[in-house]
């Protein structure tokens, strides 16, 4: 669509447009705003809903092997113990006051250095392949600096979370080598905490879910028992999730409240099977992005290197999008093995085994997880759709949304507002189309202005009632957003035309 144009959109252009046209507002703006939360206005909510509907239609309703679910946001706290979020969503962080660098305390290692039994200080290194050699080198340097003679005692590397307070004063920063400038480890738990019931004590603590996936795993047994599903099959869910991000950034890209579109696709546990399913899902998802108007040229596959994989993951491939602020993840497609179901089996004491009739055996299925952010997709759509061109020497801003996701599918105009027969006919056409789609009606201002207004909110078609419509042949003009070309067609043909463009 707009692939040929360079489209050098900056966030400084997009954010005001989103506000001006009612797509996205900062949350609680009248109170000064709240960091990391956003509200969707009249057009944003339509765009959002169209993304979710398209996904649900294509991933759930049009497939025989996927069923839907809508689990609650607050679940039993043990769900998060089993999933590992209570322990591992907490990353103890350490700041270096000198270099302003930040480290994860569990990735930072230190050791006392002793020469002939006399302690001469500490060394610190970052976790990594050569960290032991690096530590020895640093210890030698320290020994030379202090002009000590003798034998270096073997180093004992421990991670920084185990450092005692008196040790922290002596441990140098790995960057500057200066002792005592590292802070104590501080916890950043990313889960929002709340209390269930009237009593606000430790027994009533609950969490807002940081991902929708666990609601699916927690219902696996229910769906297997009642859903008439057979492996391989998937469970899909759309819902809000919450993460207390340290630094929300880049508009709605990383916010503290966001919505996920997730599928857990359960497959047999054979080691040679999952790569095939993983690949299939990557291809399915890429094709879907293209079907809603995100050009393939701005999408890429990023394979997570083995050493950066999460503890549960066998392989993760991100589908990334070229945002104005860089290439960033839209969707993660992870091969999660049987980690989650096994964890819930252990913590709940309930069997998560599935009986495979065709193989006459029981197993805990493995899973492929395509996990997408609605808000990120919406931002990617806005970035893909935004374009500027020139009509008769006038600059035009146009959002070239695919008709399927466009907030309004068409706008209906009487050519002139002060001629009642035109208005009457336009209202009639508007009401008739409105029964099926979200349609805009506008009578105010010059016709050119009305077209431009619709261009800027991405309405793909304009339908104008003029004197030929009421006096001659009953045809209207249908104006195309992308080309600005018009063609005449009968009112009856308009419906078929729109249907073809939107649903076809």
Partner RNA sequence: GCGGGCAUAGUUUAGCGGUAAAACCCCAGCCUUCCAAGCUGGUGUCCUCGGUUCGAUUCCGAGUGCCCGCACCA
Q: Binding residues for RNA, per CB under 7 A?
A: 11-12, 15-16, 19-20, 26, 32-36, 83-85, 88-89, 91, 93, 95, 100-104, 188, 210-211, 243, 245-251, 254, 310, 325, 332, 391-392, 394-397, 415-418, 444-449, 451-453, 455-456, 464, 466-467, 476-477, 479, 484-486
Write down the least CB distance from residue 135 to RNA, Å.
19
Q: How far apart are CA 74 and CA 209, in angstroms?
A: 6
Residues sharing a CB contact under 8 Å with residue 265, sequence separation 6 or more, in sequence order: 66, 232, 233, 234, 277, 281, 367, 368, 369, 370
For RNA, give the closer residue by CB, 279 or 419: 419
Report helix, strand or coil for 178. coil
For RNA, give the closer residue by CB, 56 or 188: 188
Orientation angle between helical segments 420-434 and 491-503, nearest 10 degrees: 40
Closest to 465 in 3D by CA, of 433, 438, 435? 433
Residues sharing a CB contact under 8 Å with residue 365, sequence separation 6 or more, in sequence order: 231, 266, 267, 268, 269, 338, 341, 354
Write down the least CB distance from residue 62 to RNA, Å.
27
For RNA, give the closer residue by CB, 392 or 492: 392
Q: Are 14 and 382 in contact (CB under 8 A)?
A: yes
Write down the least CB distance from residue 65 to RNA, Å.
24
For RNA, give the closer residue by CB, 91 or 132: 91
Long-range pairs of 285-289 with CB within 8 A, sequence gap ≥ 24:
285/319, 285/331, 285/333, 285/370, 285/372, 286/319, 288/55, 288/58, 288/59, 289/319, 289/330, 289/377, 289/380
Q: How far apart are CA 489 and CA 449, in angstroms?
A: 22
Write down the least CB distance from residue 399 to RNA, Å.
11
Q: How far apart are CA 310 and CA 333, in angstroms?
A: 12
- What would the two tokens of residue 120 be? 């001469």
Write down the least CB distance from residue 375 to RNA, Å.
13
Q: How far apart are CA 448 and CA 499, in angstroms?
A: 25
Residue 242 has a CB neighbour count (10 Å cut-off) of: 19
Write down the least CB distance from residue 190 to RNA, Å.
8
For RNA, give the closer residue by CB, 53 or 245: 245
For RNA, give the closer residue by CB, 103 or 217: 103
Write down the least CB distance from residue 261 to RNA, Å.
14
For RNA, give the closer residue by CB, 355 or 467: 467
Write down the least CB distance from residue 108 to RNA, Å.
10
The residues pairing with 371 across neighbouring beta strands, listed in sequence order, are 262, 332
Write down the least CB distance from residue 357 to RNA, Å.
33
For RNA, give the closer residue by CB, 63 or 427: 427
User: Which one-letter DSSP state was computed for residue 305?
Assistant: P
User: Which one-letter DSSP state was computed for residue 423?
Assistant: H
Q: What sign has the CA pseudo-torsion 188, 82, 317, 383?
A: negative
For RNA, give the closer residue by CB, 248 or 403: 248
For RNA, give the closer residue by CB, 435 or 485: 485
Residue 316 has a CB neighbour count (10 Å cut-off) of: 22
Write down the least CB distance from residue 161 to RNA, Å.
14
For RNA, give the closer residue by CB, 53 or 91: 91
Write down the least CB distance from residue 501 to RNA, Å.
16
Orientation angle between helical segments 374-385 and 42-56, nearest 10 degrees: 110
Q: How far apart are CA 364 and CA 401, in angstroms?
A: 43
Write down the least CB distance from residue 323 to RNA, Å.
10
For RNA, give the closer residue by CB, 48 or 85: 85
- Helix, strand and coil percent figures for the chain, each rounded to 5: 35, 30, 35
């Amino acid at each position: 669509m707009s692939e040929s144009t360079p489209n050098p959109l900056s966030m400084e252009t997009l954010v005001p447009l989103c506000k001006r046209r009612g797509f996205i507002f900062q949350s609680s703006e009248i109170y000064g705003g709240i960091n990391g939360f956003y509200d969707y206005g009249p057009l944003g909510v339509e765009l959002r809903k169209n993304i979710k509907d398209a996904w649900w239609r294509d991933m759930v309703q049009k497939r025989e092997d996927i069923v839907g679910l809508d689990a609650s946001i607050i679940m039993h706290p043990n769900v998060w113990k089993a999933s590992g979020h209570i322990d591992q969503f907490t990353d103890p962080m350490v700041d270096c006051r000198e270099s302003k660098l930040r480290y994860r305390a569990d990735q930072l290692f230190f050791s006392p250095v002793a020469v002939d039994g006399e302690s001469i200080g500490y060394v610190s290194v970052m976790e990594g392949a050569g960290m032991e050699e690096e530590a020895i080198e640093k210890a030698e340097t320290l020994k030379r600096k202090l002009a000590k003679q003798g034998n270096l005692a073997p180093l004992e590397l421990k991670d920084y979370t185990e450092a005692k307070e008196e040790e922290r004063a002596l441990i140098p920063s790995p960057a500057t080598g200066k002792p005592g400038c590292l802070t104590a480890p501080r916890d950043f738990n990313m889960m929002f905490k709340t209390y269930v019931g009237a009593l606000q004590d430790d027994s009533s603590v609950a969490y807002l879910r940081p991902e929708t996936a666990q609601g699916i795993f927690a219902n696996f047994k229910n769906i297997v028992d009642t859903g008439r599903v057979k492996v391989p099959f998937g469970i899909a869910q759309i819902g809000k999730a919450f993460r207390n991000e340290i630094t929300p950034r880049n508009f709605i890209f990383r916010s503290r409240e966001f919505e996920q579109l997730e599928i857990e696709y359960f497959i047999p546990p054979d080691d040679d099977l999952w790569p095939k399913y993983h690949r299939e899902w990557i291809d399915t998802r890429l094709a879907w992005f293209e079907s809603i108007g995100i050009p393939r040229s701005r999408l890429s596959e990023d394979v997570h290197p083995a050493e950066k994989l999460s503890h549960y993951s066998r392989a993760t491939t991100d589908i990334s999008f070229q945002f104005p602020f860089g290439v960033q993840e839209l969707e993660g497609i992870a091969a999660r093995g049987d980690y989650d179901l096994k964890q819930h089996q252990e913590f709940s004491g309930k069997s998560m085994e599935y009986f495979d009739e065709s193989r006459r055996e029981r197993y805990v299925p493995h899973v492929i997880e395509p996990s997408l952010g609605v808000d990120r997709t919406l931002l990617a759509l806005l970035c893909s759709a935004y374009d500027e061109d020139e009509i008769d020497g006038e600059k035009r801003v146009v959002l070239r949304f695919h008709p399927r996701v466009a907030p309004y599918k068409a706008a209906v105009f009487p050519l002139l507002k002060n001629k009642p027969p035109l208005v009457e006919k336009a209202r009639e056409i508007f009401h008739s189309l409105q029964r099926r789609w979200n349609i805009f009606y506008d009578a105010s201002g010059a016709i050119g202005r009305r077209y431009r207004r619709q261009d800027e909110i991405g309405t793909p078609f304009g339908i104008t009632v003029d004197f030929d419509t009421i006096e001659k042949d009953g045809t209207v003009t249908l104006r195309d957003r992308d080309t600005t070309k018009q063609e005449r067609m009968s009112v009856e043909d308009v419906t078929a035309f729109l249907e073809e463009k939107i649903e076809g």
